């Protein structure tokens, strides 16, 4: 009975991680929160891949920082904010899986194979 309960709990946790990944559409923004940094991410479809743009700032009066990357199928981009020594970083992951682009919120286990997780 205990093994069955553990297996059920692990399955529910795995489904929660997959559900936490948001499917982003071209040109639509997605808010992101990484520790004391807030911002937005969006992408456009270009001839050489999906051009992902993420802009973050630690406050309205602070200079923002922008990350730009072009992703091909199977590629991913991670934006990571270090924390105090001994504390895990706050990570925001963007994954291109075929023609889909997924954003993965901080605090959830990293994405594995998105296609396989969504089919299950």
pLDDT score, position 82: 86
Could you give the CA distance from residue 22 to residue 43 in angstroms, rounded to a whole number? 13
Per-residue pLDDT reduced to its tens digit, 65-116 = 999 999 999 999 999 888 889 888 888 999 999 999 999 887 644 445 444 4
Q: If you write DSSP's letter for every residue of 18-66 in order, what string do you get?
A: HHTEEEEPTT--EEEEETTEEEEEEEEEETTEEEEEEEEESSTTSPPEE
Per the structure, the count of domains in the chain is: 1
pLDDT score, position 41: 95
Six-digit token string for 98? 């075929």
Q: Which residues are within 8 A (CB) of 104 and not within 5 positions of it... i.e. 6 or more apart?
A: 20, 21, 92, 93, 94, 95, 110, 111
Residues of the chain with pLDDT > 90: what percent? 44
Could you give the CA distance from residue 30 to residue 79 in angstroms, rounded to a whole number? 14
Neighbours of 119 (CB within 10 A): 7
Q: Would the pTM of this model clear 0.75, i.e. be above it? A: no
Eight-state DSSP code of residue 114: H
State how far Cα 4 lies from the chain centre: 31
pLDDT score, position 20: 58
| Domain range for 24 | 2-119
pLDDT score, position 45: 96
């Amino acid at each position: 009975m205990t093994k069955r309960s553990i297996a059920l709990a692990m399955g529910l946790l795995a489904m929660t991680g997959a559900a936490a990944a948001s499917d982003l559409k071209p040109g639509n923004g997605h808010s992101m929160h990484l520790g004391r940094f807030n911002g937005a991410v969006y992408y456009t479809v270009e001839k050489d891949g999906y051009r992902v743009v993420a802009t973050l700032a630690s406050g309205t009066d602070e200079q923002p920082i922008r990350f730009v990357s072009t992703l091909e199928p199977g590629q991913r981009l991670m934006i990571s904010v270090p924390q105090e020594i001994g504390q895990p970083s706050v990570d925001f992951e963007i994954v291109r899986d075929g023609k889909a682009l997924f954003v993965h919120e901080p605090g959830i286990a990293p994405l594995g194979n998105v296609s396989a997780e969504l089919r299950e």
